Amino acid sequence: MEVTKVVNATRDFKVGEVETHALRGVNLSVQNGEFTALVGPSGSGKTTLLQLIGLLDQPTSGNVLINGKDVTGLSRDQRADLRRGTIGFIFQFFALIPTLTAYENIELPLLLNGSKPAERHTRVLEMLNAVGLTDHATHRPDQLSGGQQQRVSVARALSIHPSLILADEPTANLDTENGRQVMEIMQKLNQDTGTTFVFATHDPRVIKYATRVVTLRDGLIVENNGSKA
């Protein structure tokens, strides 16, 4: 089953008289349970593609489908509603709320989704255990290391049982050991839950964990699983 599909997508940006073609007719299908890396040099289009898949942006032309539904024409509010129940995000800079504890940061998406208190409590404890942070539940982000903050971010992304997790350079601000731990946690959660992961990276330490590698250059997919696109 396809979790997401991008069909002949372009994305153009214009600043003054200068137009940039970030994506130039990209086609990509991601199947349920994949652990896929989007790789390529800066400016290749990988982050733009991730934003289209995550409904944070819309293509200039072409289509994006999530779980078989064409979402290209949805309004901003409709896309936000769909993201809230379907897609989890892991960001390069963690994006945790500094005044909330690890427990409360993980709980936040469940609150926004209207989950009942008992359900929220059970799920947050499950996710804290999954990322090895049960003993840090009451710690705020400034009381956690970078690796621990990213693990909270992973737990928060998975708390709503999303069908798709998107990660943008998830290890970029971590040292080698913390990057390894985060990737191994993500890999295990992918294997244990079947949740689909798509992550943009240029870090060779991260690429080796992927079951599929999609390479972009100048807004085009030039390799897919090692085969020429």
Q: Please, what sign has the CA dihedral across residues 185, 188, 189, 195?
A: positive
Displacement of CA 197 from its chain's centroid (Å)? 7
pLDDT, residue 83, reads 87
pLDDT, residue 134, reads 96
User: Three-state SS across 143-185?
Assistant: HCCHHHHHHHHHHHHHCCCCCEEEEECCCCCCCHHHHHHHHHH
Residues of the domain holding 154: 2-228
pLDDT, residue 124, reads 96
168: buried, middle or exposed (CB in 10 Å: 19+, 13-18, 0-12)?
A: buried
What is the mean pLDDT, run by run of 10 residues, along the chain of 229 residues?
88 84 94 93 91 93 92 89 88 89 95 91 95 96 94 93 92 89 92 93 87 94 71
Between 146-158 and 102-112, two packed helices, what is the crossing angle to 10 degrees? 20
Pairing of strands 212-217, 87-90: unpaired
Which residues on adjacent β-strands are paired with residue 21? Answer: 12
Rounded distance between C-alpha atoms, residue 56 and residue 7, angstroms = 17
Rounded distance between C-alpha atoms, residue 130 and residue 124, angstroms = 10
Please state, in angstroms and as integers, the Cα–Cα distance from residue 127 to each residue in 71, 120, 155, 208, following that order. Answer: 29, 11, 5, 25
User: Which amino acid belongs to residue 88?
Assistant: G
The CATH code of the domain that includes 130 is 3.40.50.300
Pairing of strands 69-70, 61-66: antiparallel
pLDDT, residue 228, reads 45
pLDDT, residue 10, reads 95
pLDDT, residue 137, reads 96
Give me the number of domains the chain comprises.
1
Element (H, E) at 45: none
pLDDT, residue 206, reads 84
Supply the DSSP string of 58-77, one letter for each residue: --SEEEEEETTEE-TT--HH
